[in-house]
Amino acid sequence: MTPEISIQLYSVREQAAADYEGTIRAIAAMGYANVEPAGYPGSSIEAAAALFKELGLKAPSCHSGLPVGENKNQIIENALLMDHKYIITGCPPKFSENFKDADAIKATAALYCEAAENAAAHGMQVGYHNHDWDLADVDGEPGYRLFLANTPDSVLWEADLFWVARAGHDPKAFVEEIGVRGKVLHAKDGVVDADGEFEEAETKDGQIMVSTSSPFLPAGTGQVDLLGASEVAVHTEYMVVELDSYLGDMMEAVRESYDYLSTTGMAQGRL
């Protein structure tokens, strides 16, 4: 089955903050049938839910905190309101600290297992979105493999293919390795070997990676083997467009990315 195209709305956070409704209407007009929220800059979750319903947009996945601890009920209520199937963390709770050594990774895995049980009670799954530091070796083995070994297959891994390539892994082989966990992938492109320091940052939108350069490009115009990865993405339901930043017109970049995914047959939209 051909995956559906989605878009990580963090890409258009600046446009959304200035005009949320106008930005979402423009995205729907491009042909996107799915979106992946990461907060609601310039809107409320209730207003966003009403707008998505009007436009026929679905939000099968989101970037959110884990449904554990004191925020568990609110996160689940929000996910139910938006009809999410997959609650995915843009970053783990303590960012790279969660992958500093084997004990930290095992503790992180246990936290995701707890979150997965809480989500499953409401018919949802949780997932992990990677950067490059969580793909680095820990005690001679890539840290992510220890995470996978300590979580069930029902805990998804939303492979960000740019960061996979940036970490020195082959996106195609990586998608094959994660198998059934790869229901949602980030089809992110860019200059993998770009100069610049990537560092953690805490912003009003949450924890992100920022850089002294902007290597991200519309899908199909960078160095990431998106097509190769799509050839083995047999479990993937959604291919998600994302650009962390872009030196040009972001709305045009997400339009180009949609066109690339749809015309190559990697994924399908509604136009």
pLDDT (0 to 100) of residue 203:
47
Does 270 fall in a domain?
no
Does 269 fall in a domain?
no
Residue 127: pLDDT over 70 = yes
Does 197 fall in a domain?
yes
* Alpha carbons 59 and 37: distance in angstroms, whole number: 7
Q: Residue 211: in which H helix or E strand, if any?
A: strand 206-211
Q: Return the residue matching tokens 């989101």.
A: 62
Does 22 fall in a domain?
yes
What pLDDT band is residue 26 in, cutting at 50, 70 and 90? very high
Q: Mean pLDDT over all residues of the chain? A: 94
**Residue 53: domain span:** 4-263
pLDDT (0 to 100) of residue 200:
53
Contact 269, 32 (CB under 8 A): yes
DSSP-derived secondary structure letter, 160: B
Does 156 fall in a domain?
yes
Does 268 fall in a domain?
no
DSSP-derived secondary structure letter, 139: T
pLDDT (0 to 100) of residue 1:
84
Residue 205: pLDDT over 50 = no
Per the structure, the count of domains in the chain is 1
Among 180, 161, 267, 261, CA closest to 219? 261
Across the range 52-62, mean pLDDT stands at 98
Residue pLDDT, tens place only, 222-247: 999 999 999 999 999 999 999 999 99
Does 110 fall in a domain?
yes
Does 129 fall in a domain?
yes
Q: In CATH, what number is assigned to the domain containing residue 186?
A: 3.20.20.150
